Chain A
Amino acid sequence: EDQVTQSPEALRLQEGESSSLNCSYTVSGLRGLFWYRQDPGKGPEFLFTLYSAGEEKEKERLKATLTKKESFLHITAPKPEDSATYLCAVQGRGGSYIPTFGRGTSLIVHP
């Protein structure tokens, strides 16, 4: 059974204070690891897909990286508008298209 654990559960940063969110996973052959952003009152919004260890993807102040056991979402010089819950999900090679989601990290960036 695929498993995803995200840490920390909650993170408070000052504007400009860089940090990283962690997503640890176990899966029987990784097909893809996904990062989503969820704002209050909205559905998760897709950010990145990572396919193999060593891969990196960037979008504005966000950079996602992947190893064989975990993924990091690095946030550089965050702004208050980066405040959201960040969800990680994995899709394994078990034959199902169903991704397994973590519980998320709630990020608050104070001005």
Chain B
Amino acid sequence: DAGVIQSPRHEVTEMGQEVTLRCKPISGHNSLFWYRQTMMRGLELLIYFNNNVPIDDSGMPEDRFSAKMPNASFSTLKIQPSEPRDSAVYFCASSLSGAYNSPLHFGNGTRLTVT
């Protein structure tokens, strides 16, 4: 299995631009998580999907952030407009829900820099 695949690996954009991050979860996993990691705050959960449905989006910072999961094999996280404080590494992770104790499998992240 190729694992969780994220793209792009690096994104540099100017303040005010739209940014779209992409994720392909592990086949057969039905839970998907978007996290943001910074030195100051560590790993922060942004949103959690189960069976393609958003279950918990309480971590989404504000209306500038949106996430979709149109099918079981694809998810996007969009930031519009982007701001310098959004600079961070964004991780996507998937797991097999319905089974507590199922560990999360992370992608290698997208490093976002907003100038």
**Footprint of B on A, CB under 8 Å?**
31-32, 34, 36, 41-46, 49, 51, 87, 89, 91, 96-99, 101-104
Contacts and interface: CB of A to CB of B under 8 A. Distances in A.
Given A43-B107, A46-B105, A103-B42, 16 more contacts: A43-B91, A43-B108, A44-B104, A45-B106, A46-B104, A49-B101, A49-B103, A51-B101, A89-B104, A96-B56, A97-B48, A97-B95, A97-B97, A98-B56, A102-B42, A104-B42
A43 B33 CA distance: 13
Residue of B45, B93, B104, B109 with highest tally of chain A CB at under 10 A: B104
Given A32-B101, A91-B101, A102-B42, A97 B50 contact: yes
Interface band, chain B:
20 to 34
B39 to A, nearest CB: 10
A99 B56 contact: no
A97 B4 CA distance: 18
B12 interface: no
**Chain B contact residues, majority secondary structure:** strand
B31 interface: yes
A100 B100 CA distance: 14
Contact of A98 (B45, B105, B108): B45
A36 B37 CA distance: 15
A45 to B, nearest CB: 7
A101 B100 contact: no
Contacts of B97: 97
Contacts of A46: 103-105
Contacts of B107: 43
* 8 A-B pairs with the lowest CB-CB distances in the bound complex, closest first: A43-B106, A32-B101, A103-B42, A46-B103, A101-B43, A31-B100, A44-B106, A97-B97
B48 A98 contact: yes
Interface string B81-102: 0000000000101010100111
